Amino acid sequence: MAEINTGGGGGKHDGGKVRSKKVSTRVDMTPMVDLGFLLITFFILATTLSKPSSMTYNAPDKTKTEETEPLKASNVMTIFLGDNNKVYYIFGKAANEDPEVKTVGYGYELRKAIQDNTRKVSADKFVAVIKPTKKSTYKNLVDMLDEMAITKTQRLAVVDELTDSEKVLLKDKVKLEI
């Protein structure tokens, strides 16, 4: 509680002059501290924690078999996830046809490569095949799936094994141990 102490001073000093009493004030801060803790408690309980966000990934059911038409290599972009956040890709040819292997980094370069290759064929025929290598990380795969979502690529496949011709291609062209 706030209180005013009235003590000391007064009387005749300094040759008979009358001085007024000096009033000292003391403010009790206990209620202010209580209010501070109440506000802190309120804001802690009233806030919502950030909820983890996840991207949906729909995979086909392995038990059901559907007849689909075979993919043409001219519509397929095969993307290999390498080490040091590098992406290697081939487009329009199979690995056994000795295609040109191009190297890009994640982000703008990769997005531009996907968009450029999508424009070469119609968007509904474009297929991206993502193949992580042993040197790639889980983060690389998540980043790649994010790029697929950003570029709105509808048809994609994640394949965890490389063919023999792809292993030879990457070993020779990229000097990547597999």
Q: What is the DSSP string of 12-33?
A: EETTTEE-PPPPEEE---HHHH
In this prediction, residue 65 carries a pLDDT of 77
Identify the band that residue 76 occupies on the pLDDT scale cut at 50, 70 and 90.
Answer: very high
Question: What residues does each domain of the chain span?
Answer: 3-46, 73-173
User: What's the pLDDT tens digit per position in 100-147?
Assistant: 899 999 989 999 999 999 999 887 889 999 999 888 899 999 999 999
User: What's the pLDDT tens digit per position in 56-68?
Assistant: 777 777 777 777 7
Domain 73-173: give its CATH code: 3.30.420
Give the span between the Cα atoms of 75 and 128, in whole angstroms: 9
